[in-house]
Structure 1
Amino acid sequence: MSTPISAPANTPADLQALRELALPAPVPYWPQTVGWLIVLALLLAVALAIAWFAWRRHRKQRYRRLALAELASIATRIGDGAQRAPALADLASLLKRTALAVLPRERVAALSGAAWLDFLQRTHGFDAQSGALLMLVSYGPESQRAAVASADAQRLVDAARDWIAHHHVEI
């Protein structure tokens, strides 16, 4: 005695009665309240101000980047013993031109000797040993420049690089 199997409760007529679930409206990406719009505007203004100040600083520091690039070229020439004397003279000239790039000519161009070393010391601690060597390569004869040891020349290059990268302009 087997009992007949009855049909399932979900018949095609029941499936026709089913409807899709109502989904909520998608969440908008744009803020809905005025407060968030104000916060967004302030953040945009701050980001623009930071970008503008960074761009201005980058433009103002261009002379440093150019001077450091020229110093790198001079440093490679200093490594060659035959080109050391003219390269050391170019190094002294580079320091003066770098100072002239940011300060009025009246304040920097006339500086020489102890006054020039004092200026380098005041603007970023150019040490006395490097200063004495700078005086030698600036005002000494070419034979003395050619006799400068490689280690001393490298110390002068390092002092010049430090001064170019970190000097503070006097106002």
Structure 2
Amino acid sequence: MNPQDPLSQLRDIHLPATGGFWPPAPGWWILAVLILGALALVVVVLLRHRRRNRWRRQAILALTELEQKAEPTPSWFARLNTLLKQAARECHPESQPQALSGNAWVEFLIATTPAGQTAPRQALEAMVRAAWQPSVQADPDEAIRFARHWLGGQKC
């Protein structure tokens, strides 16, 4: 090698040092923000859905308690009708179902029964009348089946 030769002092072609993975490129920052935003939106929607259906969970829990203590007495049917009216007030506040009684209450239950199954009118009338008549003609098991179906099918 000649020290006077400037070409001999040149180094061979070399690759630049690789950049680390941090800091990420702007596209990755944008993707991270979009993913976090979508995750926050999903959490908000799930919490709102859970809060909106709290009445249904509480009503089904109360219905399960009533089912365990099922007896053909006026007081039991009164508690069942009260439970249905509380649920109806949550789901159909514009109809003011808490003020309905007798045939108007039966008509409301029939009108708001979910599609696919309708309870026999006589069974509903017996269930509603059983709350204030001394002799009960209604079947508690049939009333529980109707109440469970009615609560499960309400769209609020």
Question: What is the TM-score with the length of structure 1 in the denominator?
Answer: 0.66
Deviation at 1:68, TM superposition (A): 0.6
Deviation at 1:90, TM superposition (A): 1.3
Instruction: Work out the number of aligned pairs and report it.
Output: 135
Q: 1:91 aligns with which of 80, 95, 114?
A: 80
Tell which structure's C-alpha radius of gyration is larger. Answer: 1
Q: Confirm or deny: 8 A CA contact 1:77 1:84 kept in the other structure.
A: no
* Percent sequence identity over aligned pairs: 27
Q: Confirm or deny: 8 A CA contact 2:127 2:143 kept in the other structure.
A: no
> Which segment drifts farther, 86-95 or 60-69?
86-95
Once residues 46 and 35 of structure 1 are traced to their aligned partners in structure 2, the CA distance between those partners, rounded to angstroms, is 16
Deviation at 1:25, TM superposition (A): 7.0
Which residue number in structure 2 is paired with residue 56 of structure 1?
Answer: 48
Q: Confirm or deny: 8 A CA contact 1:92 1:134 kept in the other structure.
A: no
> Which segment drifts farther, 118-127 or 52-61?
118-127
Deviation at 1:45, TM superposition (A): 0.5
Which residue number in structure 2 is paired with residue 74 of structure 1?
Answer: 66
Which residue number in structure 2 is paired with residue 127 of structure 1?
Answer: 118
Which residue number in structure 2 is paired with residue 139 of structure 1?
Answer: 129
Q: What residue ranges of structure 2 are gaps of 5+ in the alignment?
A: 1-16
Q: 1:104 aligns with which of 93, 116, 131?
A: 93
Greater helix share, 1 or 2? 1
Closer, same or farther: CA 40–31 of 1 in aligned 2, 3 Å? farther
Once residues 162 and 31 of structure 1 are traced to their aligned partners in structure 2, the CA distance between those partners, rounded to angstroms, is 56
Considering only aligned residues, what root-mean-square deviation do their CA atoms show, in Å?
A: 2.6
Counterpart mapping for 1:38-53 below 5 A:
38-53=30-45
Closer, same or farther: CA 26–75 of 1 in aligned 2, 3 Å? farther
